[in-house]
Amino acid sequence: MRLRSGVSTVLLVLVASLGLQGAARAGASAWWTPALGSQPWQWELSHPLDPSSARDMGTNDTLPNGHAAAAPVIYDIDGIINPAATVAALHSQGKHVVCYVEVGAAGNYYSAADEGVSTTYYDQLRAAGVFGKKVAGYPEYYLDIRSSATVSIIESMISQQCAAKGFDAVETDIDEEYMSRSGFPLTKADEETYMTTLANDMHGLGLGWWIKNPDDTGDSYATDMFALADAVLTEQCNQFSSCGALSAYVGHKAVFNAEYHLKPASFCSYDDVHGFNGARFNLALTGVRKPCQ
């Protein structure tokens, strides 16, 4: 792992001497973790968040019972197309902000100007020769997460787009790549090594880590990464009956569930009972949401 600060050094020593659980406990006060209980949230990735838009901000939404929903206290937004000024504006309102980035694949979605770098991360990764197969249905390519070049470029992206802009945490998309037809012979151990490296790096930067869809793997990945993950974002766990795989997190770490096709009335009772922060979103994640609480 490439060390960024003394905090990263301390984390590595703790991991070696105390194990992952000890490292997570020791560093818990160094970054924000969402509280348990109802944490109204907004997830908008399709465009730069407009703090003056009621739809983007989720301030005119209703609950399944027709009552007005509480305004979100957490915003999960694209880390590249949203500037530091948006993060600061949300912070000024007492909100926490999560930085969405892809860590297991790369798409040619952004310009160098968008990213504020001389060469896009996509082009950096392509030049490093770490592209695998194309992601089905998306203009993206899986990454060889065993490569030190991948780790270095993704860590730089998180530092430049998430930490430097003042985000509180990172939602790492495609962080269970070993279950996909990536073109690489990846194992769960490969994924856990990669995500442990990234999680420790994020924590060293003062950022929390939101693990993504660990319930999809059907093995011990969710529980293996429990010590390092600060929250979970799962998609459609009710629709696909995978919510139970997150049982280790219930009552210990915040779980955020996004459903796309089920009506809130059909899944909110489950989410509410289990302490999940459930909401229905549209697939484009344009800011339209129907929260459970």
pLDDT tens track, the chain, 293 positions: 222 222 232 233 233 333 333 333 334 459 999 999 999 999 999 999 999 999 999 999 999 999 999 999 999 999 999 999 999 999 999 999 999 999 999 999 999 999 999 999 999 999 999 999 999 999 999 999 999 999 999 999 999 999 999 999 999 999 999 999 999 999 999 999 999 999 999 999 999 999 999 999 999 999 999 999 999 999 999 999 999 999 999 999 999 999 999 999 999 999 999 999 999 999 999 999 999 99
What's the pLDDT at 225? Answer: 98
What's the pLDDT at 72? Answer: 98
In the chain, the N- to C-terminal Cα span, in Å, equals 40
What's the pLDDT at 1? Answer: 22
Half-sphere exposure of 77 (CA within 13 A, CB side): 30
Which among 162, 80, 158 is positioned nearest to 116, based on CA atoms? 80
Alpha-carbon distance of 182 to 172, in angstroms, equals 17
What's the pLDDT at 288? Answer: 97
For residue 105, the SS3 value is strand
Q: Are 103 and 174 in contact (CB under 8 A)?
A: yes
What's the pLDDT at 129? Answer: 98
Q: Are 36 and 275 in contact (CB under 8 A)?
A: yes
What's the pLDDT at 137? Answer: 93
Q: Would you say the C-alpha torsion 248, 250, 254, 257 has a positive or negative sign?
A: positive
Give the amino acid at 261.
H
Alpha-carbon distance of 194 to 197, in angstroms, equals 5
Q: Hey, what domains does the chain have and what are their CATH numbers?
A: 6-22+65-237 (3.20.20.70)
What's the pLDDT at 27? Answer: 41
Give the amino acid at 147.
S
Alpha-carbon distance of 62 to 81, in angstroms, equals 28
For residue 14, the SS3 value is helix
What's the pLDDT at 144? Answer: 98
Maximal C-alpha separation, the chain: 53
Number of other residues whose CB lies within 10 A of the CB of residue 154: 26
What radius of gyration do the chain's Cα atoms show? 18
